[in-house]
Chains A and B, each alone.
Chain A
Amino acid sequence: MQLIQLIIDGVASGCIYGLVALGFVLIYKATETINFAQGDILMLGAFVAYSLIGILGMDYLTGFALTVLIIAVFGFFLDAVVVRQIIGQPAFATVMLTIGLGFIFRGFASIYWGTDIFSFSTPFSGKITEFNGLIISYVNLSIIIGTAILMSALYFFFTFSKIGVAMRASSENQLAAYYMGIPVKFIFSLIWSISAGVAAVAGVLLAPITLVDTSISLIGLKAFAAAVLGGFGSIPGAIVGGIIIGIVEQLCGTYENYLFEGVREISAYLVLILTLIIYPRGLFSDKAEVKKV
């Protein structure tokens, strides 16, 4: 029973990792760059939600929707104005650029909102439900359900909508997509905006658990483990990878005595390194094997 309880908690935190990883994967599939600032965008999302819901006193759902919208627009212009300039430069330049952007966001957040820890009330805070002796908090439930809704929405968007198909085409082959009349640059900025929006969703869902401060941007780094485990470039892989990481983390935390002290904090990174060494293509990769020397 305790095991099932742990797994449920793990799935909930894993969903957050999965959502952030999803942001990496969307951008990576399209532009072959990795956005190291994804965690910082998540943090901005949580802070904007705090401003709207906690300070301005908006309704939770309205505030949620508005936050996602604001961050998505922000993501669009982030690509259109800054990141696009770096296309064609070596991978190192993108890594450094997005790391620098992450620092700017974090610095901005701590200047604008301050370095205190904030919280805002949600309809889920503090409520739990019991099911066969399992204790499930509403917050965890909201994360799992929110992720499920978002995933199915994205699935339908990428499968049936015209823009979604155009995005997949641009990811597959930029040049061919361009010849077919798809505005590739615009589509890439849209992908950035979706990715930022997904991060904002993750940030708002996460806010009741971790509370809002600048350190939550570190989640972005753990989400790398999720993305790599799922095979960078696969959308279901990102979520499954995230859930696995979440469960592993919970289990490592509980059975710390049998392993070694402090294993919980680094378990995600250990999984990441082991995946890269043993099975670098990841679980769900649709590409050929990661290039090896």
Chain B
Amino acid sequence: MRFIFKTKYSQDINIAKHNGDRFWYSLLILIMVALPLVLDDFYLGEISYICILSIAGIGLMILSGYTGLASLGHAAFLGVGAYTHAFLLTNGIPFYASIPIVIVVSFLVGAVIGIPILRLTGMYLAIATLALGFIAEHVFIKWEHFTGGNRGLPVPQPEFLGMSFYDSVFFYYVCLVFLIAAMFAAINILRSPTGRAFVAIRDSEIAAQSLGVNLGLYKALSFAISGAFTGLAGALLAHYIGYLAPDIFNIFLSLTLLLLIVVGGMGSLHGTVFGAIFVGFLPQLIAICRDYLPSSIGSQPGLEPMLFGLILVFFILYEPLGIYGRWMKIKLFFELFPTYKRQTFKKQKVFTKSDRV
């Protein structure tokens, strides 16, 4: 077990807690940078997709994992980001100018939607965001001037820094840089007073309020920040897909994002990456499973949603802290080796919490 001997106050807010962290994360970044030397285009494309999913996951994690607000319509923000980006690029705005505009637009959309909706709590919020997701999908279909409707909208792939987005190695680096930047931004937001306020709201609204947290403001802010991250992911997703159709941004995508954060581990940024890896490779996993099942079951289109549901239920019931939670448990087991207690991670039950007055 490692004990950190603190000699300066600033150590409390260091991003890396000790040299071990620094070493491993630097190594991880080095490996990620060196990956194109080893992997071919297909796997680079997959990993770029995982980076995009992670960015979207960070957005939803800030909202659901850290502020405790469920959103069942987060694909709408991906859609807003993707369509805004494609629209701007089509009208000749360069890539480096378009991305900040996309982030600002998604932030504002999040704030505008957030302010009336976030007066609601718990279940009502989940239902309202679900409805918003559907409304957004219909707006994407019907607002043809902006989105091309059901015909779809081709995404221009402009030159950026003299490179083309068709080059998968370049696109991989773009996604990686944005993921690292987004991760860094998220870590900093979460250790600032704003992020502390989010966590306080999640743990107890009443306690947060009595400590001077303006609930409405911070919930709307959380929604807006979450929207900004997800919108950025949407812009990258537009490049990845290449051709936008409204039915991409449906309820299934929203639920996939939720699956991502639940499987990864609620309330941890590591979890978004673990979850994104899981969700990104899930189609491959299912494809492998199909080979081992009898063909009458293996060829069914219903297999995917069924496995999706089974995984979700399994994690909610048996591993509510997700993959990252399992990793923490294993790590703690070896750190405390002979004295590890199962009860350390026992689920706390809350019986007194009630929506009723």
Task: Indicate, yes or no, whether A interacts with B.
Answer: yes
Q: Which residue of A has the minimal Cβ distance to B218?
A: A293
User: Of residues 241 to 280 in A, which have CB atoms within 8 Å of B's CB atoms?
Assistant: 260-262, 265-266, 269-270, 272-273, 276-277, 280
Interface assignment of B304: CB less than 8 Å from any CB of chain A:
yes
Q: Is the CB of A221 within 8 A of B134?
A: yes
**Cβ 8 A contact of A95, one of B123, B320, B347, B357:** B123
Q: Is the CB of A270 within 8 A of B135?
A: yes
Q: Is the CB of A273 within 8 A of B297?
A: no
Q: Which residues of A contact B177 (CB under 8 A)?
A: none
A90 and B350 contact, Cβ closer than 8 Å, known pairs A107-B307, A265-B138: yes
Q: Which residue of B has the minimal Cβ distance to A292?
A: B119
Complex CA distance for A101 and B134, rounded to whole angstroms:
21
User: Of residues 100 to 130 in A, which have CB atoms within 8 Å of B's CB atoms?
Assistant: 100-111, 115
Please indicate which of the listed interface residues A82, A86, A111, A261 has the most CB atoms of chain B within 10 Å of its own CB: A111
**Cβ 8 A contact of A34, one of B117, B127, B308:** B127
Q: How far is the CB of A166 from chain B (nearest CB, A)?
A: 19
Interface assignment of B351: CB less than 8 Å from any CB of chain A:
yes
Q: Which residues of B contact A269 (CB under 8 A)?
A: 131-132, 134-135
Q: Which residues of A contact B205 (CB under 8 A)?
A: 293
Q: Is the CB of A290 within 8 A of B124?
A: yes
Interface assignment of B181: CB less than 8 Å from any CB of chain A:
no
A88 and B349 contact, Cβ closer than 8 Å, known pairs A97-B317, A276-B128: yes
Q: Is the CB of B138 within 8 A of A266?
A: yes
Interface assignment of B121: CB less than 8 Å from any CB of chain A:
yes
Q: Is the CB of A97 within 8 A of B313?
A: yes
Q: How far is the CB of A94 from chain B (nearest CB, A)?
A: 8
Complex CA distance for A261 and B320, rounded to whole angstroms:
43
Interface assignment of B262: CB less than 8 Å from any CB of chain A:
yes
Q: Which residues of B contact A32 (CB under 8 A)?
A: 354-356
**Cβ 8 A contact of A291, one of B216, B255, B355:** B355
A107 and B303 contact, Cβ closer than 8 Å, known pairs A95-B126, A228-B124: yes
Q: Is the CB of B309 within 8 A of A104?
A: yes
Q: Which residue of A has the minimal Cβ distance to B320?
A: A93
**Cβ 8 A contact of A100, one of B131, B304, B309, B349:** B309
Q: Which residue of B has the minimal Cβ distance to A115?
A: B301
Interface assignment of B310: CB less than 8 Å from any CB of chain A:
yes
Complex CA distance for A166 and B306, rounded to whole angstroms:
36
Q: Which residue of B has the minimal Cβ distance to A276?
A: B128
Q: Which residues of A contact B219 (CB under 8 A)?
A: 293
Q: Is the CB of A88 within 8 A of B350?
A: yes
Interface assignment of A132: CB less than 8 Å from any CB of chain B:
no
Q: Which residue of B has the minimal Cβ distance to A34?
A: B123
**Cβ 8 A contact of B302, one of A102, A109, A232, A265:** A109
Interface assignment of A96: CB less than 8 Å from any CB of chain B:
yes
Q: How far is the CB of B303 from chain A (nearest CB, A)?
A: 7
Q: Which residues of A contact B357 (CB under 8 A)?
A: 287-289, 291
Complex CA distance for A102 and B310, rounded to whole angstroms:
10
The contact size tier of chain B is 35 or more
A115 and B302 contact, Cβ closer than 8 Å, known pairs A34-B123, A104-B310, A287-B357: yes
Q: Which residues of B contact A95 (CB under 8 A)?
A: 70, 72, 123, 126
A111 and B131 contact, Cβ closer than 8 Å, known pairs A95-B123, A262-B141, A276-B117: no
Q: Which residues of A contact B306 (CB under 8 A)?
A: 103-104, 106-108, 111
Complex CA distance for A106 and B251, rounded to whole angstroms:
14
Complex CA distance for A262 and B119, rounded to whole angstroms:
28
Question: Quick one: CB contact mask for A202-218 with B, threshold 8 Å, 1 for yes?
Answer: 00000000000010000
Complex CA distance for A236 and B122, rounded to whole angstroms:
23
Q: Is the CB of B135 within 8 A of A106?
A: no
Q: Which residue of B has the minimal Cβ distance to A88?
A: B349
A266 and B300 contact, Cβ closer than 8 Å, known pairs A111-B306, A224-B127: no
Interface assignment of B287: CB less than 8 Å from any CB of chain A:
no
User: Of residues 59 to 80 in B, which have CB atoms within 8 Å of A's CB atoms?
Assistant: 64, 68, 70, 72
Interface assignment of A15: CB less than 8 Å from any CB of chain B:
no
Q: Is the CB of B142 within 8 A of A93?
A: no
Question: Quick one: CB contact mask for B277-314 with A, threshold 8 Å, 1 for yes?
Answer: 00000000000000000000100111111111111110
Complex CA distance for A86 and B349, rounded to whole angstroms:
9
Q: Which residues of A contact B320 (CB under 8 A)?
A: 89, 93
Q: Which residue of A has the minimal Cβ distance to B349?
A: A88
In the complex, 29 of the A-B residue pairs with CB atoms within 8 angstroms, ordered by the A residue number, are A82-B317, A87-B349, A89-B349, A92-B64, A93-B320, A96-B262, A97-B313, A97-B316, A97-B317, A100-B316, A103-B305, A103-B312, A106-B305, A107-B303, A107-B304, A107-B305, A107-B309, A110-B300, A110-B301, A111-B306, A214-B302, A228-B127, A266-B138, A277-B117, A287-B356, A290-B124, A292-B119, A293-B118, A293-B121
Could you list 6 further interchain pairs (A-B, Cβ under 8 angstroms) beyond the known A97-B312, A100-B316, A111-B297? A92-B68, A97-B313, A103-B308, A111-B303, A272-B128, A293-B215
